[in-house]
Each structure stands twice: as structure tokens, then as C-alpha cells.
Amino acid sequence: MKTCLIVDDSSMIRKFLRTSLESLDFAVREATNGQEAIARCEESMPDVIVLDWHMPVMTGIEFVKLLRQGGHADQPKVVFCSTENDLDHIRTAIEAGADEYVMKPFDRETLHMKLQLVGVA
């Protein structure tokens, strides 16, 4: 079973993502900001991280930069999931190390397709 870490400060989004990901046979863990996500990754690196942009304490961009600089051998796939839906933000996320980008709002099928594109579903 593949593992996914959801990083989002909105409990509603986390709930939707958890339901969607569990229906796709992922074992799911959650974090509410980038700093918590680092702690979850230190415990165990997931196969994929679904990551929000704007969060208190540490943003998604700050987190993914740290993750990619960390030099972990088992780098997870990172799928950004954000309301920042313009090209500049999307380019910034890719340059920071994101593998895919989902623009909110989205549905379960779109999320599934993006997970297939990064090779985890």
C-alpha cells in the first residue's frame, strides 16, 4: 500500500483528500503546516505528499525547498494543491521541486490522474 502525507491547514480539505486518497488505496497521514510535515517525514518518508501553498508557520514552498535540499535518498513525489492558479505560481512551485500541480477546486478523478502522472497510483 502506498503512503501519502496530506499537508493542509484546512480541516475540510484534509477530510476531502483523506476520503479520496483512502478510496484510491493510500495509507494517509496528515500535517497542518510545513513544519509538522517535516516531523512526519522524519518519522517515515511517504511515497507522495499532497501539499497546500498558504499555511501558517511554514508555507508549502518553504517546505518543498527544504525537502529537496535535504538530500534524502528516498525523495517522495510532491503534488501541490493550491488556489494559486496562475502560471507564475505554478512555475514557482515546479522550480521549487514540485512534481505536479492541482488547481483548486478539483475532484477525486483529477487528483487520481495527477497521482498516476507522478507514478504512485
Q: Which one, 98 or 120, has the nearer CB to other proteins?
A: 98
Instruction: Give the residue, chosen from 24, 45, 66, 103, that forms a contact with other proteins under the rule CB under 8 A.
Output: 103
Element (H, E) at 77: strand 77-82
Q: Report d(CA 63, CA 2) in Å as an integer.
A: 21
Q: Which one, 38 or 103, has the nearer CB to other proteins?
A: 103
# chain residues binding other proteins, by CB under 8 A: 19
Cis peptide before 105 (omega within 30 of 0): yes
Phi, psi of 18, rounded to the nearest 5 degrees: -60, -45
Q: How far is the CB of 109 from other proteins (least distance, A)?
A: 7
**Is 24 a binder of other proteins (CB under 8 A)?**
no
**Is 102 a binder of other proteins (CB under 8 A)?**
yes
- Scanning 3-11, 38-46, 47-55, 92-100 for contacts with other proteins by CB under 8 A, the matching segment is 92-100
Q: Is 100 exposed, middle or buried (0-12, 13-18, 19+ CB in 10 A)?
A: buried
Residue type, 59: T
- Scanning 12-20, 52-60, 69-77, 94-102 for contacts with other proteins by CB under 8 A, the matching segment is 94-102
